[in-house]
Amino acid sequence: MTADENSAETRGPDFRGRVHAVVHGVAYGDAMGAPVEKLSAAEIRERYGRVTSLRTEWHRTGQSEQARQGRIRGHGIVTDDTGMTLALMRIYGRERRHLDAWDMGTGMVREITWERHWVPELQREAALIERLFYPEKWIFQRHQLSGCDPRQGGVGNMVNCGAAMYIAPVGVVNAGDPQRAYDEAIAFAMGHQQSYGLEAAGVLSAAIAQAFVPGTTLDQVIRTAHDLAHDGTRSAIAAIVEIAETLAAKGAGPDEVTAAFHTAIAPFSPMGDDLVHTPEKAGRASNAYQPSRLLSIEELPLALGFCLTAGGNFKQAVEDGINSGRDTDSIGVMAGAILGALHGPSVIDPEDAALLDDANRLQLGAAADHFTDAALAIQANDAASAKAILAARRALSNPAKDKAAE
């Protein structure tokens, strides 16, 4: 084997291939989890046995249109997780620079409110805000209706995984630089989320940026996520990783893993199994989903844990996350994005990719290519800026020598 061949083998998939895999991982995990979202693990087992395919019927199919809120799911249809990820990719495509909270207040507000795209769950062209959950509609309310300082856009919002679920593109743009990915995700998502919901967005971006590093391992990705996390998010990741390593060593089955994970995450997450909003819950005072330095969204630590217990296997990690119940689509999105970045296009099954495009009227490959071009342009600007900064610092360290050299 030549040195060049060894180098290519060490590098693994190229940047473009990994971006395609991240985009596919988001859509795949989203569409896989959507039909069973809000069911408990026990309910999924009772109804489906185990979800292993995109061609799964939504558990609410057959209910009235009012009960379904006019939506359809199943058989490859994605949700707002993918919709907002694609929106963020389009913002990068237009701006071709790093983003901050002002881009949430302009670019994301325009994307979700004033641009119309095919919304698969509604089966029509619409503004994405028609589909969004209340914490994501907050973006429009705070930035356009309230005219807030963009950096305070997330203040007062319900704390949830809404920012983390679409933040993967920030990790892509900052591939190889987890700290910068964390910082940019925080700077951008603070226009939407606060507290541990904001923290999760930063940590997931960092994990994805680390996964792009040639030759990196899943353990290194998870260590990066843990080390850059703060407060309850860091503690929750540590708790899940500890139990995941134990379960992986003993070869525990998915049901045992899910039960152990839910026990481990309970001190950090207010979610539980009862996710359905009903009239009976109106007016109940609760600390759930309120700012806290001690809590964590559960989707990110669980996604990391399922990646570990699956040994980094893309499909197994997504499937195990989906079958654990609760916020299934977002767990699938996070596991899919991380392992897509780590493994590259080998995770893309052509049949699954074709179904995702067809069911959602998307061209995920073309969207990934356009986003890749924007990310590469940003990275080229970063390289030029870094070179100029280095030259300036060298001049400052020895100005007399540099002047003599002139």
Binding site for Mg(2+): which residues?
79-81, 327, 329-330
Could you give the CA distance from residue 238 to residue 24 in angstroms, rounded to a whole number? 28
Q: Which amino acid is at 19?
A: V
Quick one: 351 exposed, middle or buried, by C-beta within 10 A (0-12, 13-18, 19+)? exposed
- Nearest Cα neighbor of 210 from 230, 226, 224 is 224
Give the CA distances from residue 228 to residues 178, 182, 205, in Å, rounded to whole numbers and listed in that order. Answer: 8, 8, 11
Annotated binding residues, written as ranges, equal: 79-81, 327, 329-330
Which residue's entry shows tokens 């998870």?
A: 222
In angstroms, the CA 355 to CA 290 distance is: 38
- Residue pair 136/163 in contact (Cβ under 8 Å)? The answer is no
Q: Are 302 and 321 in contact (CB under 8 A)?
A: yes
C-alpha 238/C-alpha 312 separation (Å) is: 18
Query: What is the spatial distance between Cα 145 and Cα 152, in angstroms, rounded to a whole number?
Result: 14
- Kindly state the helix (H) or strand (E) to which residue 127 belongs, with its residue range: strand 124-127
Cα–Cα distances in angstroms (integers) from residue 400 to residues 388, 389, 390, 393, in the given order: 19, 18, 17, 13
